[in-house]
Amino acid sequence: MSTVNIAVIGVGLVGKEFLNQLVFLAGSSSPSRRIQLIYASNSRSALWNDGKALDIATCAQKLADGQGIELPLAELPKLLRSTAERPKVILVDNTSSDAVAALYPSFLMHGLDVITPNKKAFSSGLELYRKIMQESMESGKKCLNESTVGAGLPIVATLKDLVASGDEVIKIEGVFSGTLSYIFNEYSTPSGQGPSFSSIVAQAREKGYTEPHPGDDLNGADVARKLTILSRMIPSLKSHLPEGYKSVSITSLVPDKLASVKSGDEFVTRLPEFDAEFEKLREEAQKEGKVLRYVGVIDVQAKVVKAALEKYPTSHAFATSLQGSDNIVAFHTRRYNPRPLIVQGAGAGAAVTAMGVISDLLKLI
């Protein structure tokens, strides 16, 4: 009987869904393997019983009820470390915290594998990223991040397989933001007609598709983070983005005059002032028989990594087959040529994000 010990930081939307899926996985697992939860925490407190198994189904509620204890984050790697009696420990970071990400090297050093949908460690400055790679190599432990790009869609794993098997990536091009997918699928159709840009953004916000402040989607930073994560997996681009997503060429859709608006409500109220600018872009595209899509592009040979608003012919897959808030990613490689390998589907949401985490977990156990 081999035991897999799971420690979970973060029991918010994704964290809770992860725990649901973990209950399912533990229940359907092979009898020769036991999956147990030994630690769970939210930003205020933690459940920990000296490494003994916790009840997965009730832990989120217990934390919400304030039944946890206080445990400083910095002590976690030592507390959870892998030991002779507890050889396999997997840390799952379901937060979007920089502070937790900064601990990954220490977790790896203490013999834990790390799985996370948190983009921070992989898309910020190179220093932390390199430390993680280094510690992973030295400890033989893994730091897996499938759901940082496209949530449960097989995007990170596919790129990993392409690279590891010696294929040569020529270009990766895709719609990486569910929010911007929705906005432009609604805004820019082959007819070139439709509601104003600001009204679609307002509608998307009401549906809960945007961040509370839609500028956090429109600034392109999330797309740039995803491009950074993928770029660093491509050998020839490994060191190409020293400052992470800040090194990516980003076209922000936030009008300059609204850049300093802190309130999401105010932002949405003032956005109509800029509808004419967006309308011009839509008309231009329509005249060329094209539609607008906010895409991420990694052009390996040219070493261009950009998040930008681009025009695509109405016959292009980004125009014809993309709907709702779906992501689509096309891998153009030496082998997948002239037609790319394409992965498409919902790229955000708690259930599919948690599935990406479970997918990584399955690779480790």
- Binding site membership for NADPH: which residues? 95, 119
d(CA 74, CA 122): 20
Which of 224/358 has CB closer to its own copies?
Answer: 358
Query: Does 10 participate in binding its own copies (rule CB under 8 A)?
Result: no
Nearer CB in complex with its own copies: 27/72? 27
Helix 178-187 and helix 197-206, axial crossing angle in degrees, nearest 10: 140
Q: Which of 12, 51, 125, 154 binds its own copies (CB under 8 A)?
A: 154
CA distance 310 to 253: 12
Sequence-distant (6+) residues with CB within 8 A of 161 are: none
Q: Is 113 in the site for its own copies (CB under 8 A)?
A: no
Distance (Å, whole) CA 261 – CA 269: 11
- What Rg, from alpha-carbon coordinates, does the chain have? 22
CA angle (302 as vertex; 300, 306 as ends), nearest 5 = 75
Q: Which stretch binds its own copies (CB under 8 A): 163-171, 186-194, 266-274, 287-295?
A: 163-171
Binding mask 15-34 for its own copies (x = CB under 8 A): -----xx--xx--x-xxx--
Do 123 and 245 meet the contact criterion of CB atoms below 8 Å apart?
yes
Q: How far apart are CA 358 and CA 151, in angstroms?
A: 11
**Inter-residue contact 81 to 110 (CB < 8 Å):** yes
Q: Is 226 a catalytic residue?
A: yes
84 binds its own copies (CB under 8 A): no
Interface with its own copies, residue 207, by CB under 8 A: no
Candidates 226, 290, 306, 311; catalytic one? 226
**If binding is defined by CB under 8 A, does position 300 make contact with its own copies?**
no
- Is residue 189 involved in binding its own copies (CB under 8 A)? no
Helical H segments across the chain, by residue range: 13-28, 56-64, 76-80, 98-101, 104-109, 120-123, 126-139, 156-164, 178-187, 197-206, 215-218, 221-231, 264-270, 275-287, 317-320, 350-364
* Interacting residues of 50 by C-beta distance below 8 A, sequence separation 6+: none
Which span (64-72, 158-166, 174-182, 189-197) binds its own copies, by CB under 8 A? 158-166
Q: Closest CB to its own copies among 13 and 351?
A: 351
Kindly state the number of chain residues that form the binding site for its own copies, as judged by CB under 8 A: 50
Interface with its own copies includes 191 (CB under 8 A)?
no
Distance CA 333, CA 277 (A): 36
Residue closer to its own copies by CB (options 152, 244) is 152
Residue 359 beta carbon to its own copies: minimum distance, rounded to whole angstroms: 4
The least CB distance from residue 353 to its own copies, in Å, is 10
Interface residue with its own copies among 65, 70, 84, 164 (CB under 8 A) is: 164
Q: Report the C-alpha gap between 9 and 94 in whole angstroms.
A: 6
Which residues are identified as catalytic?
Answer: 226
Judged by the rule CB under 8 A, the positions of this chain that interact with its own copies are: 20-21, 24-25, 28, 30-32, 137, 140, 152-154, 157-158, 160-162, 164-167, 315, 317, 320-321, 323-324, 326, 331, 335-336, 338-346, 349, 351-352, 354-355, 358-359, 362-363
